[in-house]
Structures are given as structure tokens and as C-alpha cells.
Amino acid sequence: MTVMTERSQMLLEEFEILARTADHSAERLRLEFINEKMGVKAVPDGDHGRIIQWLIRICLQARPELWLHDQGLKVQPYRHGRARPDGTLAPSDAFVGQGDWADPEPALMVVEVTSYDADTDRRDRQDKPRAYAETGIPVYLLIDRDSCEVAVFSQPDGERYEQVSIVPFGKSVTLPDPVGIELDTEPLKNWVR
């Protein structure tokens, strides 16, 4: 009798080399490694970029000591995953000197804006909330352009987020402590297909 064991698609070190190469290629692929599986994120479109600009402005006005970083993070237990959130809210100097994949300890919030690709459901709505909660990141903000909703995940318990608040675009939502910012989501209606 043959016993099959689940095996990772690749070693973490192999993934990091591949991701570094993809980041510097002309096509600028965005690779991630979550649940020991490699994923490819779609390159952001113009509306996606505008949403990030909008969020940066709000965060700077409310919390000028913070910045919404574009930084790869070591995620999941024992930091065996690699995620590239669309934004990571942390102190301005939080990731200085950390390279491509930073320790997520200073992160107050991670942000994902859904892409129009086939993998966004599994990646942004299933895998990432769990990976970010396992890592202990206090708040996960999902701006879902497919459903025209904002989901705020908070109170990670080491496995999942215990609190989830979902509002349609156009309503206000509070990003709980340690973020402590109120978002009026009305402008998001302008940046969906």
C-alpha cells in the first residue's frame, strides 16, 4: 500500500527566487505563496490604482504617522507564506531594511482590492483572510469590486477573524482599533466596471 503525503508545490526558497525574477521582468507579475501554493495576482488596472490612491489620502489625513505600504509580507504560522497585499498600513519606517518579504509585526491593517480574474474568489475571500488572521494582523480590509461591498475583518484569533462587517459601497464603515479610521465608501462606486 502506498501512502501519499501532501507536498508543497515548491520550497519557500525556490518561490522567493522565482518571485524576485518575476518582479523584475518586463511583464511585472505579482506572485504569492499561500498555503504552500503559488498564486499569480493580476497586475492592477487603473481603477484599482485609483482606489489605493483614495485610501492613501484618507489614511494620511486621519493618521499622518502611518503609510499604506506596497510591501511583501511573511504570513501564516512560522512565516511560511508570502503575500503581497495591495496595501499594508503601518508606521512610515516600519519596513526599512527588510527586503522583499517583511516581518508583518508592525502591520495594523492589510488591504486587498479584488481583481477581475478567475482566482480572486479563492485568493482574496478565502485564503488571505485566513492567512492574515493566522499571522495576527489586526485588520483586513477587502474592497470587493465584484459585489460592490467593503468587508472589514478584525479580531484575529490565530485561525480566523472573529468579527466581519460588510457594507455596500456608499455606506460608511469604521476600521476598528488599532486603525481607528472612518471610511465613507461612496467614491468607490466610481471605480467599478
CATH number for position 160 = 3.90.1570.10
What predicted TM-score, i.e. pTM, was given to this entire model?
A: 0.81
The reported pLDDT for the residue numbered 28 is: 54
pLDDT at 46: 85
CB under 8 Å to 62, separation ≥6 — which residues?
180, 181, 182
Q: What are φ and ψ of residue 35, in 5° steps?
A: 55, 35
Q: Which residues of 115-139 are buried (b: 16+ CB within 10 A; e: fewer)?
A: beeeebeebbbebbbbbbbbbebbb
What are the residues whose beta carbons fall under 8 Å from the beta carbon of 152, sequence distance 6 or more? 139, 140, 141, 142, 163, 164, 165, 166, 173, 174, 175, 176
Laid out side by side, the sheet with 101-102 consists of 37-41, 30-34, 81-83, 72-75, 101-102
Residue 75, in any domain of the structure: yes
* E strands, 65-171, in order: 66-69, 72-75, 81-83, 87-91, 101-102, 109-113, 139-144, 149-156, 161-168
CA distance 122 to 33: 13
Residue 71 counted as domain residue: yes
- Alpha-carbon distance 10 to 91, whole Å? 33
Q: Are 148 and 52 in contact (CB under 8 A)?
A: no
Q: Write out the residue range of the structural domain in which residue 107 sits.
A: 44-191
pLDDT given for residue 123 in this prediction = 77
Question: In this structure, is residue 95 part of a structural domain?
Answer: yes
Is position 35 within any domain? Answer: no
Cβ distance 186 to 170 under 8 Å?
A: yes
Q: Residue 127's pLDDT is what?
A: 87
Query: Is residue 9 assigned to a domain?
Result: no
The answer to whether position 155 is within a domain reads: yes
For residues 82 and 80, give the distance between their C-alpha atoms in angstroms, rounded to a whole number.
Answer: 7
Residue 16: inside a domain: no
CA–CA gap between residue 105 and residue 174 (Å, rounded): 22
At 39 the pLDDT is 67
Number of domains in the chain: 1
Q: pLDDT 10s digit of each residue in the chain, 193 long?
A: 444 445 556 566 665 665 665 554 444 566 666 666 666 666 677 899 999 999 999 999 999 999 999 999 999 876 678 999 999 999 999 999 998 999 999 999 999 999 877 777 677 788 889 999 999 999 999 999 999 999 999 999 999 999 999 999 999 999 999 999 999 999 999 999 8
Let me know if residue 30 belongs to a domain.
Answer: no
* pLDDT value, residue 132: 95
Per-residue confidence (pLDDT) for residue 4, from 0 to 100: 43
Check residue 3 and give its pLDDT: 43
